[in-house]
Structure 1
Amino acid sequence: MKTLKISKEIEFLLGSFGAVQSAFLGIYLFLGKKHNTTNTLLSVFFFLITVRVVKSLLWAYLDMLPVWFINIGFIAHFATGPTLLLYFLYVFKPKKWHIQNYLHFVPSLLLLPFLFRINGGNFWHIGGYSFLLYHQLIYTTLTFGILLLFLIKTNKHTSTIEKEKKYWLFILFIGAASIQLAYFSNYVLGLSPYLLGPIIYAVFIYIIAFYAFLNQRIFEEKETSSKYQNINITTQEFEHYQNKIIQVIEVDKPYLNTDYTLDKLSKQISLPTYLTSHIINKGFNTNFSDFINLYRINKAASMLTSSSYNHIKISQIAYDCGFNTLSSFNSSFKKIKGTTPSQFKKIKLMDL
């Protein structure tokens, strides 16, 4: 078995730090106030990875480990891929939990009754572990496909929280895929040390945790509204009106009017209000108010950094961009740009 070219103490310490942080994230999500399907799946995923990493560390450095404990580690490993895939699916398209989802965990469930009976000689080293690793490789590939769909879906019209989720999913996938590929590379290909996966994961889990605590809105699950369930509109019609909304907003710039409403936009594109709302919610992953404010803030940001508007006060720019009050402008600006208008202007001018 290949080992990393660092001392055993450092190797064990790094892996242990990763396991502890992974367990902490699992506990945080499980006990947190934001209870929903995605957070539950993510919490379970972190717990499963923790069990797998702990098993690897103890197996590498202890002479004897109970067979049942080794099997627990492998069974947890079997469940990590399906859990992460389901998490990505539910982030991409929130919906109710279906009992069919448990089919993803059939390998783990089938092995549980044999917890004290199977071992390396009669199962894992005669194809069982190879099957586990190929099983995880398939789920990692499927999860990557979901990630690509999410990345393609996000664009310049996407809300800030959706962009935060995009970066979050990317970081999470890289961290999760690194440990899966490292185990595969070690056992199937014989190219990497056994504990490379836990060590790499230990690095990524702190990046994951840091990003998560800076952007806690990513743990909020978007609710699906029942009022949209009976809407019948073809994909072609949906895309047509979505493009029409963009054209009206970007060409006519009606968002500069303080009294611009969803009803007025609906009349401009000749659609009922509820359909316009549905297209904005589903097509741009945001509501009408945030959708309009995104354009207003982007316009304000360009004015703040333009020499043509140096003589104009920030409050006047706020009103010119469609805001009724300076306070609503400031809060919207900070929500979208992550800083205040005055700080934004100062930073951009320093960069020139």
Structure 2
Amino acid sequence: MQTLPIHLDVFALVILLGVAQGLFLSAFFLSGSRRRRVANRCLGWFMLSLSAISAEIFLNHTNYTFRALWTVDFAEPFNFLLGPLFYFFVFGRVNHRLPPRWGLHLLPSAIWLVNAVTWIYQPIEFKYNSYLDSMHPELPFVPMRPYMREDFTGLRHLVNEMTLLSCLIYAGLALLVIRRANRQQSMNRGALRLLSLLFAVVPLLIVLVKTQFKEDLGDYLLATYMAMTIYTASFLVMRGSSFFEPEPVPPASIPDEPAPERVVEPRKKYEKSALSGEVEDAVLTRLTGLLATEKPYLQSDLSLPRLAAQLHTSPHHLSQLLNNRLGQNFFDWLATHRITEAQNLLRDPATAHLKIDEIAERVGYNSPSAFHTAFKRLLHQTPAQFREAVAQPQPTPDRR
């Protein structure tokens, strides 16, 4: 069997870095407390699928496949995971759960995984010829006798068309979910929309590449674009992280007591501030509007600097406003709104069945223990006790 030397270029470097970054992101979202969120798990598996497909294209493009023939077409079943996993991620990010009958969306991938046995479990000569047919048709094929008939579905010659259709359908479904969420909840989901639009471009690239390049010779362009998508996701993760924002000073420890009796921070702290009453009124109006339309306190990574940026003011001025007008520091303000939202979810028959941890996640807490602590501190009872109390029928008044 004839081989060719390793071929490395800029495209190979970009693809390889994308594979590494995709593996890092998948490990990031599938580990620790992050994996408790269904959207994070779906995004982690989506990044893993992208990495697997890109890794195979990297091996083919650089001729490393000659030295690892067992990898020929190993990632093909992932083609039909990309669309459903991305749709699951968007749906889970908006609704905090998987879509109804989500398992049916994975059926094509499962069928293709079974079908993949017919070309994965084959002699090495079969895989060598398959690689030459896709990437180096100018080289001579070698004689071989397959172990079994390839492709029991008879559809493998349409894999590119089916992949294109799958990506197109699920990109459309993802954009539809975002549109409905924006319409019903008046929420700005720019990052989700950006990722969905990037994913929607994949079918267009498949059409352009496959019409311009015979066989798989242009797949390196698709892999380069997928690497750029992974880089974009990494940027959005870092931009959304509070790690890179200035840390606000944590509030002093306050013993458990009813909310109305909490000690209010003295106004003297801001006596020399340049924030006028008119400016306070304007910021307070923007804050009230933001609470009504976007409910920013449901964001798990919300911080004082981030909220201030949304209100077009400084963290110091926002802290002054919360203390002067609302009698709360930022952390107490955030906990109050989140726990109020949790009370609504526990009362609502449509969401009362959710687990306590799911309630915590929906109102913005990454840690269930932090949710329990805040709930008990503000209401002097645990979420389970509150749920039990609201579930009990109220006694009817005595009419005698």
Q: How many residues align?
A: 246
Contact 1:22 1:50 in 2 (8 A): yes
Letter in 1 for 2:220: L
Kindly tell me: are residues 85 and 256 of structure 1, through their superposed partners in 2, closer, same or farther at Cα, counting changes over 3 Å?
closer
1:212 corresponds to 2:237: yes
Identity of aligned residues (%): 14
1:170 correspondence with 2:193:
yes
Q: CA deviation at 1:59?
A: 2.0
Secondary structure of the corresponding residue to residue 326 of structure 2 = coil
Q: Which amino acid in 1 is paired with 2:165? A: Y
CA distance in 2, matches of 1:102, 1:299: 39
**1:180–1:197 Cα contact (<8 Å) kept:** no
Cα distance in 1, alignment partners of residues 105 and 298 from structure 2: 39
Structure 1 residues 317 and 125, CA gap change in structure 2 (3 angstroms): closer
Where does 1:47-58 land on structure 2 (aligned, <5 Å)? 47-58=48-59
> Which one of the candidate residues 69, 84, 87 is aligned to 2:86?
84
Q: Which residue does the alignment assign to 1:11?
A: 11
Q: Which has the higher helix share?
A: 1
Cα deviation 1:237-259 (Å, max 9, x = unaligned):
xxxxxxxxxxxxxxxx9x979xx
Structure 2 CA distance for partners of 1:109 and 1:301, relative to 1, 3 Å: closer
CA RMSD of aligned residues (A): 4.5
Aligned to 1:133: 164
Q: Which structure 1 residue ranges, 5 or more long, are not aligned?
A: 1-6, 218-252, 258-279, 305-312, 333-352
Aligned to 1:148: 179
Q: CA 1:56 to 1:154, structure 2 compared with 1: closer, same or farther past 3 Å? A: farther
Q: Distance in 2 between matches of 1:315 and 1:23?
A: 39
- Distance in 1 (CA, whole Å) between partners of 2:72 and 2:117 is 10
Output the TM-score relative to the length of structure 2: 0.50
Q: CA deviation at 1:130?
A: 2.1
The answer to whether the aligner puts 1:181 opposite 2:237 as a matched pair is no
Q: Equivalent residue for 2:76?
A: 74
Which stretch shows the higher mean deviation, 17-26 or 140-149?
140-149
Equivalent runs, 1:1-352 vs 2, <5 Å? 8-34=8-34, 35-62=36-63, 64=66, 69-95=71-97, 100-118=101-119, 123=151, 126-153=157-184, 155=186, 158=187, 163=188, 166-187=189-210, 193-216=218-241, 284=293, 286=295, 318=321, 322-324=325-327, 327-328=329-330
**What is the rounded CA distance, in whole Å, between the counterparts of 2:194 and 2:240 in structure 1?**
13
Deviates more, 1:58-67 or 1:198-207: 58-67
Question: Alpha carbons of 1:288 and 1:32: their partners in 2 closer, same or farther (altered >3 Å)?
Answer: closer
CA distance in 2, matches of 1:61, 1:55: 10
TM-aligned CA deviation for residue 41 of structure 1: 0.6
Q: 1:70 to 1:140 in 2, by over 3 A?
A: farther
Unaligned runs of 5+ in 2: 1-6, 120-126, 134-149, 243-280, 335-400
The structure having more radius of gyration, on CA atoms, is 2
SS in structure 2 opposite 1:95? coil
Please say if residues 81 and 136 of structure 1, whose CA atoms lie closer than 8 Å, have aligned partners that are also in contact. yes
Deviation at 1:198, TM superposition (A): 1.6
Q: 1:322 to 1:146 in 2, by over 3 A?
A: same
> TM-score normalised to the size of structure 1?
0.56
Match of 2:246 in 1: none
- Alpha-carbon distance between aligned partners in 2 of 1:106 and 1:52, rounded to the nearest angstrom: 19
Q: Would the aligned equivalents of 1:29 and 1:40 in 2 still touch at CA under 8 Å?
A: yes
